[in-house]
Amino acid sequence: MKTCLTAAFLILSQCALNAGQLDNKTRGMAAAPGIKNAAWGLSVKDAATGMVILERDPRRNLVPASILKVFVTAAALDRLGPERSFPTRLYYDGTISNGFLNGNVYIKGGGDPSLGSQLVKGAAPLDEVFKAWTEAIRKAGINVINGAVVGDESAFESVQPGSWAWEDIGNYYAAQPSALTVNDGLYKLYFKPSEKEGGEAAVLRTEPYIDGLKFENHMKTGPAGSGDNGYIFAFPGQYQAVLRGSIPGGAAEFAIKGALPDPAFFAAQSFSYYLAKAGVNSNKKPYKGLAPAGPGTVLLAETASAPLKNTVRVTNKRSFNLYAELLLRQLGVGRGAGAPAAGNAVVKAYLAENGVDVGEMKLEDACGLSHRDTVKAENFTDMLRAVYKKKYYSEFYDSLVYPGDPDATGHVRNLGRGTALENNLRLKSGSLNGVRSYTGYLKTKKARVLAFTSIINNYSAAPAAIDKMHEELLLDLYNGN
């Protein structure tokens, strides 16, 4: 018995030593230039037992940035299920006589993020979707539409949060979360860089083509390799956009991504053009409106989305804001309304049921683009601990980024690359001006699984230095536990 007690004491002493060393190291990091005046919340717990491994101000209210997406993706997997599909339906009203439809064709969106997506596994290209819809129209005996193609996005509230920054609106990462979203809600805008640095970058084209979209161009040419520093300024529904910032020189052309001005109208317009090329003409211009309710409409086709788990994977790996916002509204539909507030009520209820303190939590959106979101680091860690024991843990875990992940984008792909973290780390990161955040799972050298979260606000250090600091901290956690 004495030998067992001695061994146990030695193990506990070693754990305490490791914890003390980590605490000291964390204090040193917090006192470093560029960080010492920042607000830093840190929470690390054993995923299985809940034992606190390391923490620093874990209950401080902070702006979380894009790690907020793990709340809505976990809640969606829980409430809707990994295999859930969201249908888009094609209807007509009126009568068909001698090949003429005396009525309209309606595309009723069901909030499918993957409709015509180039990112979601299992999503059919938009041309394939349109081809299937065209065949359904012809099978119904329709050769001419004495009416219009109408886009219906009424399944839920399709507006951006008012707290999003003006410089974000108009760019793809602040796309309108329409219930009738196609092509990932974006278009590419191509420029021809000037031969001289500081010269005007000329607008070449958009892909896909957007009828009526005009640009007031103030875009400049930056140094070669300077990257995308261009912004598109436009309100939703506005077809006159202002271009400012710079794109890199040295290439024949360079593209940035913009948000579709009116997603539902674009879907109707694109399908109307497709039908015309296929020989099915409409006598009226496409528009956005409501499909009539009741027995007066006839279902022509139904297009199922890719499984929810595939959308969750892209949402977390690529930090895709639009998908997070669409999932939030799907959760709101489950409460009888598709408003963001209804979705956030579902998210908070899910978190509270799983031991997360939501008393001071403020959620303005689902993607973390708003600076008015405030959450505690411990909130994320506690949710991760709960998910660790859920049946959908594998789908959630697989949606997180690992070092060198080819499906991920941005700085987070390189965090831990070439180190022991490569096969043992899964995380979601976030970044806004002055905000850097990380949350996820770490399998340690001793095969423990840790749930961790770190959120830093108002730092002045280089973002790459913040990443490096966290890589070092995660390596210490890996080796010491």
Residue-level pLDDT at 338: 82
- pTM score, whole prediction: 0.93
368 by DSSP, 3-state: which?
coil
Residue 200 neighbours by CB under 8 Å, 6+ apart: 194, 217, 219, 220, 221
Q: Within 10 Å of residue 439's Cβ, how many Cβ atoms?
A: 28
The dihedral sign for the CA sequence 319, 324, 326, 330:
positive
Residue-level pLDDT at 3: 41
Residue-level pLDDT at 69: 98
Are the CB atoms for 225 and 248 separated by under 8 Å? yes
Residue-level pLDDT at 18: 63
Q: What are the residue boundaries of the structural domains of the chain, listed by start?
A: 25-82+309-480, 88-157+262-306, 172-259
Residue-level pLDDT at 337: 77
Pairing mode, strands 144-145 and 100-102: parallel
* 88-157+262-306 is classed CATH 3.40.50.620: no
Q: What is the DSSP letter of 335?
A: T
For each successive 10 residues of the chain (481 residues), what is the average pLDDT? 38 48 88 95 98 97 98 98 97 96 97 96 96 98 98 92 92 96 97 96 96 97 95 94 96 96 97 97 96 90 97 98 97 85 96 98 97 98 98 98 93 92 96 96 96 98 95 94 84
Tokens of 237: 């529904």
The residue behind tokens 């420029």 is 191
Q: Which CATH architecture has domain 25-82+309-480?
A: 3-Layer(aba) Sandwich (3.40)
Residue-level pLDDT at 19: 66
Residue-level pLDDT at 24: 87
Residue-level pLDDT at 411: 84
Are the CB atoms for 388 and 451 separated by under 8 Å? yes
Q: Within 10 Å of residue 75's Cβ, how many Cβ atoms?
A: 24
Residue 349 neighbours by CB under 8 Å, 6+ apart: none
Residue 278 neighbours by CB under 8 Å, 6+ apart: 134
Amino acid residing at 459: Y
Residue 157, Ramachandran bin (φ over 0: left; ψ between -120 and 50: alpha; else beta): beta
Tokens of 77: 């997997």
